[in-house]
Amino acid sequence: MLNVFPIPAFKDNYIWALHDQQHAVVVDPGDAAPVRAFLAAHQLRLAAILCTHHHHDHVGGICELAEVYNVPVYGPQREIIPCLSHAVGEGDVVQIAQLGISLNVLDIPGHTRGHIAFRSTTPAGIFCGDTLFGCGCGRLFEGTPAQLFDSLQRLASLPDDTPVYCTHEYTAANIRFALACEPGNNRLRQREHDTRALRELGLPTLPSSIALEKATNPFLRCASPEIIRSIEQQTGAKLPHGDEVAAFTSLREWRNNFG
């Protein structure tokens, strides 16, 4: 029986830990201290480190963990990752023998040039770093809007029941923006209610699911007539008919400046 647990770090990061009560794998350990505390508290042996992209809040703890536990580090082949031992990319499979799991690597650039995701089938889940968030998506730092749009479409094509393990607790803030884009979305209003209830209890809003994101996340709903109308009202300009990338580009710019 494998468990997936969010280890809180910094202000709003989650370092995901997969474990079977004996061994563990951690994803995007920006800080070594909470990981070491978690492993010690649960008497777990670290088997591997997975990294989705090069930003410091995702890699800052890698070298310390790799040295202390002498474990392999898997990360994107198109980025510079500290203490990387296994550079991986689209089509590669990461085998974690201690846990008996395999993770498929997907290239999902846009947030950064070489951003990757790790997809597990047992247990099901997509560890997508900062590409897809709860009701939102990452900023464009190195890629193009078309790249990020395509990456999000790849994630949206996964089975609806796939859990989404992203790495920031941004859901409540993202929902406020989503409601500005699509106030008539009843599923979104229900998500707002559910999210508020979870946060009042101090609980994470993650994992999400692909189905929930497709129903409520404006960045996966660029063909929605209401969202298109909202973008046009915001920008004062008509969008090219049927051009979802243009809608996505405007949506991402709007989100960048949303209060």
- Structural domain including 197 reads 3-256
DSSP-derived 3-state class of residue 76: strand
- The mean per-residue pLDDT over the stretch 129-150 comes to 97
Residue 123 reports pLDDT greater than 90: no
pLDDT digits (tens, 9 = 90+) for 93-112: 999 999 999 999 999 999 99
Residue 244 reports pLDDT greater than 80: yes
Residue 65: band (very low, low, confident or very high) from pLDDT cuts 50, 70, 90: very high
Residue 75 reports pLDDT greater than 90: yes
DSSP-derived 3-state class of residue 247: helix
- The mean per-residue pLDDT over the stretch 240-248 comes to 95
Residue 204 reports pLDDT greater than 90: yes
Residue 185 reports pLDDT greater than 80: yes
CA 188 to chain centre: 19
Helix axes 225-235, 244-256, angle to 10 degrees: 60
Residue 81 has φ and ψ, to the nearest 5°, of -115, 130
- The mean per-residue pLDDT over the stretch 48-57 comes to 98
Q: Domain of 137: which CATH number?
A: 3.60.15.10
User: Do residues 50 and 94 make contact, with C-beta atoms less than 8 angstroms apart?
Assistant: yes
Residue 48: band (very low, low, confident or very high) from pLDDT cuts 50, 70, 90: very high
What pLDDT was estimated at residue 259? 72
| Total domains present in the chain | 1
What pLDDT was estimated at residue 1? 82
What pLDDT was estimated at residue 57? 98
Q: Spell out the alpha helix ranges (H) of the chain.
A: 32-42, 56-59, 62-69, 145-156, 171-181, 186-200, 210-216, 225-235, 244-256
- The mean per-residue pLDDT over the stretch 214-236 comes to 97
Cβ atoms within 10 Å, residue 78: 16
Residue 64: band (very low, low, confident or very high) from pLDDT cuts 50, 70, 90: very high
First to last CA, the chain: 43
Show the CA angle centred on residue 252, arms to residues 251 and 256, nearest 5°. 115
Residue 66 reports pLDDT greater than 80: yes
Q: How buried is residue 111: exposed, middle or buried, by Cβ count under 10 Å (0-12/13-18/19+)?
A: buried
- Edge-to-edge strands of the sheet including 163-166? 93-96, 101-107, 116-121, 124-129, 163-166, 208-209
- The mean per-residue pLDDT over the stretch 120-146 comes to 96
